[in-house]
Amino acid sequence: MRMAELSAESGLPVATIKFYLREGLLPQGVRTSATQATYGDAHLRRLRVIRALIDAGVSVARARKVLATLDEPPDEVAALLAEAHAAVAPSGEEDVPLAEIEDLAEQLGLQCWTHRPERLAEVARAMRTLREAGFALPPEVMRTYWTSMRHIAAAEIAEIPVGDPDEAVRYVVLGTALVEPLLLALRRVAEQLATVERFPPNP
């Protein structure tokens, strides 16, 4: 496939594809001469992944990290997940006091949180933001959040395909980045449903 074709197939302007090439999101094609290269199906698939990431709100810089993880995955699943998380998660600038993290770990019933506190720190930051806005999160709701997320995580991790490592990497990395908008959208639908149940509309 040549550039014009790749552009037509993917629906993206040539200039944009060149941009992704420059930014290292899309690997170079196979050079056939000084001013010519060909691209394969892998490039087309990659472009679709790039668009999916960017449409999902991932920045170009983070998308590059996600794709790097996809290309050179660590062999331990936990490390793979951690890399995917680090690539997608917002990296908070100010750090969270240890005491706050310890409190949180206790609240969630975690013992061995010490080996990777970044994700927990992110939870703490989100809760601080809530507090600073003057929003009191009912403890009951917080408990539901946590148990629901444990359910979700259990289901997700249980479905990691074990046969094909490539498939597993894809599942973990894309599942991390692309499922977030889906979950939030489902929450909104569920909230509207629960609302009309609790507060039936006037006739």
Applying the rule CB under 8 A, the residues between 51 and 110 that interact with a copy of itself are 51-53, 55-57, 76-78, 81-82, 85, 89-90, 108, 110
Number of residues that bind a copy of itself (CB under 8 A): 83
Query: Contact region for a copy of itself (CB under 8 A) — 15-23, 28-36, 95-103, 183-191?
Result: 183-191
Which 137-176 positions form the footprint of DNA (CB under 7 A)?
none
Joined tokens for residue 41: 């199906």
Q: What SS3 class is residue 178?
A: helix
Cβ of residue 174: shortest distance to a copy of itself, in angstroms? 5
Cβ-Cβ contacts under 8 Å for 26 (sequence gap 6 or more): 17, 20, 43, 46, 47, 50
Cβ of residue 2: shortest distance to DNA, in angstroms? 3
Assess contact for 25 and 67: CB atoms under 8 A: yes
Q: Tell me which residue has tokens 């472009």.
A: 47
> Which of 92, 49, 93, 91 has the alpha carbon at shortest distance from 70?
49
Q: Tell me which residue has tokens 């930051």.
A: 125
* Phi, psi values for residue 32, rounded to 5°: -110, -15
Residue 202 found at the interface with a copy of itself (CB under 8 A): yes
Residue 34, binding choice from a copy of itself, DNA, none, Cβ under 5 to 8 Å by partner class: DNA
Q: How far apart are CA 6 and CA 4, in angstroms?
A: 6
Cβ of residue 84: shortest distance to DNA, in angstroms? 18
In the bound state with DNA, the residue whose beta carbon lies nearer, of 47 and 127, is 47
Which 25-54 positions form the footprint of a copy of itself (CB under 8 A)?
45, 48-49, 51-53
> Contact with a copy of itself (CB under 8 A): which of 8, 14, 30, 190?
190
Burial label, 49 (beta-carbon count in 10 A; 0-12, 13-18, 19+):
buried
Number of residues that bind DNA (CB under 7 A): 25
In the bound state with a copy of itself, the residue whose beta carbon lies nearer, of 72 and 200, is 200
Assess contact for 21 and 39: CB atoms under 8 A: no
Q: How far apart are CA 96 and CA 75, in angstroms?
A: 30
Which 22-61 positions form the footprint of DNA (CB under 7 A)?
22, 28-29, 31-37, 54, 59-61
Residues that bind DNA (CB under 7 A): 2-5, 13-16, 18-19, 21-22, 28-29, 31-37, 54, 59-61
